[in-house]
Structures are given as C-alpha cells and as structure tokens.
Structure 1
Amino acid sequence: MCEMKTSPEPEVITSDEMRALEQAAISSGKVTGLELMERAGRGVVEAIFEEWPALAVGQHRAVVLCGPGNNGGDGFVVARVLKEAGWDVELFLFGDATALPPDAATNFERWSAMGEVADIKQALHVDFDACDLVVDALFGIGLSRPVTAPVLRDLFKAVSQADKPARVAIDVPSGLDSDTGLPPDGGSALRADLTVTFHAFKPCHQMKSLPGIVPESAALARYTVVKDIGL
C-alpha cells in the first residue's frame, strides 16, 4: 500500500506534463537540465535522511542502480552526494555509458572521478542484506515497455526480497508505468519502501494496490514524497 505524505487533494500530473514542465523551464533559460538533475539527486538524499534519520549519521553502505536515461543521471548525483558524506557506495549501470543523455553523461563522469561503475550483471552478486540502502534509479517515469531482461528480473527479485536495506525509488519503482501504476504488459517491477518524486505526484502514486500483481514481484512504495526542484 502506498501512502502519500501530503494534503488530501495533492497535485497530480502525468509523465508527459512533467516532461513538458521541465522542458519549458529549460527553454526559458531560468534553469539548466544539469541544475534540475542536481536538485533532484540532492532532494532524494534529503528525503532519505528525513525518512531514516539514523542514516544521516555515521558511515553506511549503499548500492545505487542506474539506468540508461536521466533517471540514471539522478542516481549518479545521489551516489556522489552519499560518497561525499562518507558512505561506501557501489554503483551499477544498466546500458551503455557512451549512449547516456548529455546531462546524465556529465554526472556519470563526475561520479567516475570518485568511484567505480560496474555492469548491472555484477549487482547479482551483491549481498543486499549487508547493505543499508538500495537506490533504484533505473527507469523512472520514462518506462513504456515491460522489463523482461533476465538480469533485471533476477535483480528485482533479489532486492525486493532482501530484509535489511531501505529501498528507495526515484520517481517510480522501476518496472511500473508512472501513469497506470502497473508493469506494461505484465513485466517485472521492483519493490520500494520510499519513492521520491519531483514537483508533483504522478498518477501511479495514487494507487492503493496493484491489481493482479503479487507483492513479492511488484509493489508501490509504502510512502511517496514530493521534492521541489524549482519548476
């Protein structure tokens, strides 16, 4: 079940409306895509520390799963901010680093200057119960196809079934369509404890359950919070 920490009638916008808002802000010259990505990543870390204050103190271990688009770019920012805070951070990339969008590529390079990037297949060897945090920065609101890659299906299962780590999704738990709240065509999805989205809730965040989807394979986060990125 997903609880929205907000007023009874929150603002809700579709993924297309969110992209249009971002593009309008960038086109106006008031902000760059890189600045929005930085604000988003830092907003995620802020939300993590608000939800789990104990993680804001001392050294901890995080696994950050990054995808091939700007959601992955947000993940690179999160990894960098946590690393700067003294965390032990492992980052795994799904996709080709040379094909990343420009802003995500910039943050990929910034992270690469301070930490390693491993192929997503290597994440299958991680003991997630030895981690304090797993950050899902794989697909976000841009997903329109079912997640069928065996490596991702196995990874989703391993993360979802782990007992210890706090699982945080950026924008939307990966594998779910942000407008319907369901995996496209019955694909696999990743469980989360907290979802951090930006500017406004998306339609999927209003769902109270996932019809026909077993909790072990997919579930919306227990909580969804909105962070302002200045749009």
Structure 2
Amino acid sequence: MSAAEYNAIVKKYIASKFFGELKTQLEVLVDAISSVSGKYVWYNGYKDEEDNEAVIEHLERVFAYELYYQWRKLMDDNSSDLTLNGEISKEVYDDIILKQTTFYFPDMVLHKGQENKDKQMIVCEIKRKHSFNPNKFKKDIEKLSWYIDEKRFSAPFKCGVFILVGYHLGECWSKNYLDTIREINITSECTKNIICMYYEANKGSSNKLVISTLYDLINNPNALTDKLKK
C-alpha cells in the first residue's frame, strides 16, 4: 500500500471522529508527518555511552525538528492564522483543590498564542521506539490528558496527539500498557480527544502512518486504521 493510500485511510478515520477546523488541522498534521523521510526517522548518528537519556532525547529531536519544518511549510501554504511552537511552557494544575502548578514543555503545540482560549488547537508528545515503555507512555498520556482538561488548564487544547516513531502501536499494545492507562485519572470523553499515531518511514518502502483515538485503542485495538483497508 502506498503512502497516499495510507493517508487516505487515516483522513477517513479523522473525518469520522473530528469536525471543523480541528479536523482540517489534523489532516495537515497527517500530511506533515508523512513528509518526514526515513533518514529523520532512523537517524542513529549520535552516541553517548555515559548518558543514554541524552542519546534518546537527541534522536527524538532529529525527527521532531524535521516534523516542525514540514508542518510549518504546510501551514504557510494554507495561510493559517495559528502558530506552531516547539517546547513552549504550559502551566498545569498538579492539584485541582490546592491550585498548585507545574510548568511542562510539550514537544509541539499548535495555537494562537498562550492566552487565546478559543484557539488552543493541538498539543503533541513524541517518542521513538528506543525510549518507549509502559511508564513513559503513561507519563505522556497523562500530560496530554491535562492539556485538554479545562479543570486543570485555563486554556485547554482541543486535541492531544501522541506520536510514536518506528514502533507499531499494535505490536506494543499489551496488558502492561493497558494497565498503566487505567491507573490514570482520565475520563472516557478525554480518551476520545487523544490520538495515538505510529509512523514508520523506511528507505525503499512506503511511509506508513497509523492512528487511533486512545478510546478506540483501549476498547478495540483492532480498530487501528490500518485495519480499515480490509
């Protein structure tokens, strides 16, 4: 199956779940991710034997910076009034009652400024397969759930997106991952507004993008969009 055919399936899935400007912006994100070539997905030219976390962070940034570039290009082509920022600070309530706050730095945000409550569109967290495990998945999903929760966030995003690079969601999804998600205080409605994406781009083969809402991933793993072609 070609990259264009995968994108058509993904966009059909998005159209079944989201509407209006959010649907349009998610489709732009799909095109941007699909434009990232394999050399940015499988780049392994950095080694630090003393600090494995630094290696992983560096490798994730190789993909993230190219995604930022491709996303910005498409936004400029479509004359978007939104702004794409990388690792900008967002203030989240750690405790709803005590109003204690913590600053987080999501990998990417699509919005119209920090204070515009009506135009907080998409917030993204990115992981490569080398750094992917149940606890890190739980942490990123938990952060995304905060970003879209109006009780914790004064200007909540409309959608949270978790992007997994080089590792199939269906392959990694197991009881361990499901159990970690159940430990999070997250509503069913919230899981419908969090999208999990898997992206693979290899030399000599088609780019493959697969997506599912967290709700579908939890309740029906077979609903992954690469199954829709059957």
Q: Which TM-score band (shorter chain)?
A: 0.3 to 0.5
Structure index of larger Rg: 2
TM-score (structure 2 length as normaliser): 0.36
Structure richer in strand, relative to its length = 2
Structure richer in helix, relative to its length = 2
TM-score (structure 1 length as normaliser): 0.36
Greater RCO (Cα-Cα under 8 Å, separation 6 or more): 1
